[in-house]
Amino acid sequence: MKVHEYQARELLASAGIPVPPARVIESIDDAAGAYKDASRDAGTDLVVVKAQVHAGGRGKAGFVKLVRSASEATDAARFMLSNRMVSVQTGAEGIEVKKLLIAAGVDIAHEYYLAVTTDRATRRNVLIASAEGGVEIEKVAEENPKAIIKTPIHPLMGLQGHQAREVAFKLGMKGKQIGQAVKIMTALAQLYVDKDCTLAEINPLILTPPTADAPDGQLLAIDAKFNFDDNATFRHKDVQAMFDPAEENPGELRAARMGLSYIALDGSIGCLVNGAGLAMATMDIIKHHGGEPANFLDVGGSASEEAVTEAFRIILADGTVKAVLVNIFGGIMRCDIIAQGIINAARNVENTDGSKGFQVPLVVRLEGNKVEAGRELLRAAASDLPTLQAADDLTDAAKKVVGAVG
Amino acid sequence: MPVLVNADTKVICQGITGAFGAQHTKGCLEYGTRLVGGVTPGKGGTKDDNGLPIFDTVRGAVDATGAEATMIFVPPAFAGDAILEAAGAGIRLICCITEGVPVQDMLRVRMRLDEINLAARGADTHPTENLITLIGPNCPGIITPGPKTGRGDSAGDPYTDSGCKIGIMPGYIHTHVSESRLGKTIGIVSRSGTLTYEAVWQTSQLGFGQSTCIGIGGDPVRGLDHTACVELFDQDPDTDGILMIGEIGGADEEDAADYIKRHVKKPVAAFIAGRTAPPGKRMGHAGAIISGGQGTAESKIEALRAAGVSVAESPADMGRAMAQAMGMG
């Protein structure tokens, strides 16, 4: 689960990590007031207006703007709240922006990268730091891997002071910066564990230029990104409350509510499979035979009639689907029962024109317990489900469904 | 002697009175597994529908039955605790079927298990029988097939004689070597459930038996990994070939490829699921995600091929890739 930048900032602030003053607004009318507040708090006329969406590419799309007056802030807010944001990550239809973050601009002497994530190879949470912040860390990792400092964190002891100090020194920090950095790193590592994150990232963590009050400058978190372990949100009511359904694909959201695992993709062949590994493998075999999968969909081990019906609805709601492949390995459950469920679901599924019954080609591959009885049922159902074909095996199924799309 | 479990393995079920636990306790009994009891805190002293004794604690179950293996069906929030309870009670093989265990829980659990094993290892370098093995979580379990009795499907009249199934896999698709056409056995290790069944089915159809099949699970932090299972199969005199089914995410398959290259003489075949999966999207399993360019199917396939592994291009060809690796294709 992901959250918005403004929510990430709130999490950082709650952990004692300094962030520049900011406001969140939802209407154009509030932009001028928010500008004045942010500007006054920070003692600067430079303020940044940022659209609150999960998708990246905001800057290039014109949805992050530096403004120097209340009227400029209002203009920026009007643009962002009345236009859909289209970026490389959103697709052509773009996404609606509902909230804006209005934050005081800060002078930057240096940009750092700081994150905590879990390294599955060593089975440890790791602190990742770099003095080359502000850019994509993947790029730094690729071009200059030595610029990335990785520090393993003990699962019970947490990040130790000496570890954080060592990182700060390696980042080239000095004087009072060290103490500030240790505090930020320790807080971030603790927050990561406390909230069951899978990523807690500050990029950039900036150092302000020296002032009379702060001769070594001040470290501030400018932008942050958090991902949470979906398996652990049950024990974090506050994290659940940050969930924004508007950011999710409607099909994926609907599937999740039904306990199905669904991911929309760009192709034309819908897939309905039991088991995540087999679902991935089914996408692969479609591609292997020249087709393009329209989705990943795992209906779960039992493949019940209710689950299959709902899965068909979700797949068919994607208007680009030209054919559907059902691939079920009937392990514990008998293939004849599964086949009857698929037939009933195919008969009852509603089309966009209000009629019932499957209209696009439907190829069904069953294997396992009582498979012959299952195939017999599928063949017998062909009279009222003319688009239904039973496949002999996995390869046959892939060829049939790719052939049906043409 | 197949890998990790056999006809003599005494098994208990943690969460035996839950719907899922009860259903699969019955399934394992019917297969012929030596299930000797179960654990549900607060229900100790009663019996389940099969007449198996229920205990309040794993320690109580072990003391009374001599159980050495457990299958865990408790809800995700309690799974980590259930694993550590089993470890503390002297259980040697812990099979955690539960799906959805938080990653941070598993980090702590794995660290504790590693500590216990490190302490048990002491000065002796090869006392594997004293070490605790965790399979899963989020896995189908482990099965060593037995010869079919040709009779029933009930606890009193089990499906196999001397088979041991610990988990949720369909038992009937597996083939004991005595009933295989080719008289050769495959050891199968996989991160995915239904894809394992697919591989078992294909190898059975081609005339192979299976020595043992291990579903190691789809989570990022887990117990046994591919490398450990490949090592077990390589050392098992009753396993003739090894079939490894991986998926995108992590570096488990690359590590196994490295091990195979350096140590394994037996034929190895593999399939990697997720060639078409886009980066950053979690494909059902918590562990199946390509992030930061790591864990792609291509890198895994390349590493395996470089180690001399026969890699199936299509999931329909897992059995054939195995047969080819064994010179029988």
Per-residue pLDDT 10s for chain B (329 aa) are: 589 999 999 999 999 999 999 999 999 999 999 999 999 999 999 999 999 999 999 999 999 999 999 999 999 999 999 999 999 999 999 999 999 999 999 999 999 999 999 888 766 555 456 789 999 999 999 999 999 998 876 777 888 988 999 999 999 999 999 999 999 999 999 999 889 999 999 999 999 999 999 999 999 999 999 999 999 999 999 999 999 999 999 999 999 999 999 999 999 999 999 999 988 888 888 888 887 778 899 999 999 999 999 999 999 999 999 999 999 87
Q: In the prediction, which pLDDT does B125 show?
A: 53
Mention every residue, 6+ apart, whose C-beta is less than 8 A from residue A29: none
Distance, in Å, from the CA atom of A256 to the CA atom of A261, rounded to the nearest integer, reads: 6
Q: In the prediction, which pLDDT does B129 show?
A: 63
pLDDT over 60 (residue A35): yes
Report ipTM for this prediction: 0.91
Q: Which residues in chain B have their CB less than 8 angstroms from residue A368's CB?
A: 170, 173, 197, 201
Token pair listed for A117: 């994530």
Q: Which residues in chain A have their CB less than 8 angstroms from residue B220's CB?
A: 118, 120
Question: Residue A394 — pLDDT band, cuts 50, 70, 90?
Answer: very high
Distance, in Å, from the CA atom of A138 to the CA atom of A156, rounded to the nearest integer, reads: 29
Mention every residue, 6+ apart, whose C-beta is less than 8 A from residue A240: A233
pLDDT in tens, A207-220: 999 999 999 999 99
Q: In the prediction, which pLDDT does A134 show?
A: 80
pLDDT over 80 (residue A258): yes
Q: Which residues in chain B have their CB less than 8 angstroms from residue A141's CB?
A: 292
pLDDT over 70 (residue A229): yes
Chain A nearest CA to B78, separation (Å): 12
Mention every residue, 6+ apart, whose C-beta is less than 8 A from residue A254: A262, A310, A314
CATH class of A21-104: alpha beta
Starting at the edge strand found earlier in the chain, the sheet holding B185-190 runs B164-167, B141-144, B209-215, B185-190, B241-247, B268-273, B310-311
Q: Nearest CA to A121 among B305, B214, B225?
A: B225
B155 touches chain A (CB under 8 A): no
B253 touches chain A (CB under 8 A): no
Q: Which residue has the higher pLDDT, B147 or A256?
A: B147
Disruptive mutation site among A278, A338, A396 for chain B (greatest number of B CBs within 10 Å): A278
A136 touches chain B (CB under 8 A): no
Say if the Cβ atoms of B194 and A278 lie within 8 Å.
yes
Say if the Cβ atoms of B170 and A331 lie within 8 Å.
yes
The minimal CB distance from A369 to the residues B172, B251, B314 is found for B172
Q: Give, as one character, the DSSP assignment of residue B196.
A: H
Q: What average pLDDT does the segment A380-389 reach? A: 89
Q: What average pLDDT does the segment A386-396 reach? A: 92
The minimal CB distance from B102 to the residues A196, A275, A296 is found for A196
Q: Are B3 and B232 in contact (CB under 8 A)?
A: yes
Confidence (pTM) = 0.92
Distance, in Å, from the CA atom of B320 to the CA atom of B329, rounded to the nearest integer, reads: 6
CATH fold label, A250-405? Rossmann fold (3.40.50)
Task: Return the number of other C-beta atoms located less than 10 Å from residue A177's C-beta.
Answer: 20
Helix (H) or strand (E) holding A86: none
Q: Give the CATH architecture of domain A110-240.
A: 2-Layer Sandwich (3.30)
Token pair listed for A7: 């929510």
Q: Nearest CA to B69 among B146, B138, B117, B5?
A: B5
Interface of B with A in 195-214 (CB under 8 A): 195-198, 201
Q: Nearest CA to B47 among B71, B73, B65?
A: B65
Q: State whether residue A224 is helix, strand or coil.
A: strand
Q: Are B30 and B60 in contact (CB under 8 A)?
A: no
Using omega within 30 degrees of 0 as the cis cutoff, is the peptide bond preceding A204 cis? yes
Task: Return the number of other C-beta atoms located less than 10 Å from residue B148's C-beta.
Answer: 19
Q: Which residues in chain B have their CB less than 8 angstroms from residue A261's CB?
A: 284
The whole-chain average pLDDT of chain A stands at 92
Query: What are the structural domain ranges in chain A?
Result: 21-104, 110-240, 250-405
Q: Are A246 and A96 in contact (CB under 8 A)?
A: yes
